[in-house]
Each structure stands twice: as C-alpha cells, then as structure tokens.
Structure 1
Amino acid sequence: MSLGLQNTPGGALIDVCESSALLSGGRGVRFEVDVGGRNVPAFAVRYGGRAFAYLNRCSHVATELDWLPGVFFDFDAEVLLCSTHGASYDPGTGACRAGPCAGHGGLRALKVVEQDGRVFWQPDGYAEPVKVA
C-alpha cells in the first residue's frame, strides 16, 4: 500500500485510509513502516469509536497477529488476538490482557489522527515512513 504524505505544523502525517474503512471491532487496515531501516508491518483498527494503530508484531513472539489479512479482533470484537499462540491485547492501549504475552509487554503503538474523513499516521522517530527507491 502506498501511503500519501501531508505536512502539517505538528509534523508529517501519512495517509493510511478513509475513516469509513475502519469499523469498530471490524477488519483493520494493514500498512508498512520503517523501523531501523527495515520494512515492518503495521495496522490500524477502530475500537470504541476511535482509531488506533500498532506494529503488527506480537510481543511474545515477533510474528504478525492477524488470522487473515486485516482480521485482528477475537470473535467478540473485544481484544486483539495473536493468531499464533492466542496472546490477547487491549485494542485501545495495546497492553497485554492475557496469554503468553504476559511479562513481555504490549503492542508498540503508533500515533494516529483522524481529520477530513481520513486516518493518518504520525511518524514518531521510532517508526518512520518506508523509503521508496
């Protein structure tokens, strides 16, 4: 997915998707970020009416969470669930709720903002836009 760049007084905003693409507890939108010179998968979801984004990496074992592309929530749409070992995370904070992630921390959050009907990711120095060759 090619992300658009928008410069604002608060820094660069990277266009992730239309706000309507994220339904509360529904499918997420995958995108990539650059972490230390490597392309790393990330995702955005909606929970409780707000958009959230995280690196797509379980804190227990560095594997992607989604069961199928974009499927991050459990059947009740209450937790983000790792498809490999069942670690569950709070959708609003990324904190480990239960399972093998206990003691390993939570998901690495990415800052997102919504404006003009779009969801934007704001790079933070740890995760940066993927460099296009």
Structure 2
Amino acid sequence: MDTQQSVSTDADGQEICDSGALTERGLGQRFRVDWYGEEREAFAVRFGGKVYAYLNSCAHIPIELDYQPGDFFDLSHNFLVCATHGAYYAPESGLCLGGPCPGRRLESVPVAERAGKIYWLSPATGQDGWPD
C-alpha cells in the first residue's frame, strides 16, 4: 500500500484514497494538506468502523508519530502511538491518554467517506462538510 498520498480535488473534497485502503486498526494512509496556508503532513486510520484523521504531529513535541510509514497503532491496535515519545492517543478523539502529554490532543483533520472513497475536507468546505 502506498503510505504517502497527495490528494486530488473533485466535487466531493480532496480524495485521499479508496475506502478499502484503510483496514480496521491497520496501517494508516499518510497524505498532505494545505492547513491554513501551510503544507502539513496528515494521516487517516480506520477504528471502530469509522475513519479518523489527524495532523501527523505528536502533541508533546511536533514530530511525526509513525516510525514506519503508516504504522500509527500500538501493538494492541487499540491506541495511536508516537513511536518517538511513547505518547498514546485515543483513535476516535486524538486525546492523549498517557505518556509525556496527557490531556493534550492530536489536531483533527476533517474527513468523510463517501461512495467508496475517503476525502479530506479542507477548511474551505461548507457547513455540511462538503465544498460549496
């Protein structure tokens, strides 16, 4: 699986990958976003049947979480983990549950799953989550 994607734009937002590329608690999909005028690294994972996405930056010190590209889950596959600092996060909220930054959060990136694709919804989207 390609673990670094640039997103392509269409009427539904910017495509990250096919839905099948994200397996439950499996490897994540890395992608780049224009985050308020700054190009940033982000990632998407599937947990509990839903897709969640965050900027790829530890809440403790801004370093990418994955040691191997796309490998965001701990060994139990229950938590996202920073391979450098050992901080672990709830996949569904990004809340740091332990390690050097308890109570802080990963920065959430808005995504949606529609018609077999996963899309990043840029900050310029409308209230319903889809581009105006």
Deviations 1:2-51 (A, max 9, x none): 3111225xxxx110000000011100000011234332110000000100
Tell me if 1:6 matches 2:10: yes
Verify the 8 A CA contact 2:36 2:123 in the aligned structure 1.
Answer: no
Deviations 1:37-85 (A, max 9, x none): 3321100000001001000000100000002000000011000000111
Same amino acid, percent of matched pairs: 43
Structure 2, unaligned stretches of length 5 or more? 125-132
> In 2, Cα distance between the equivalents of 1:63 and 1:45?
18
1:64-83 equivalences under 5 Å are 64-83=64-83
1:53-92 equivalences under 5 Å are 53-92=53-92
Structure 1, unaligned stretches of length 5 or more? 126-133
What's the counterpart of residue 44 of structure 1? 44
> In 2, Cα distance between the equivalents of 1:49 and 1:37?
31
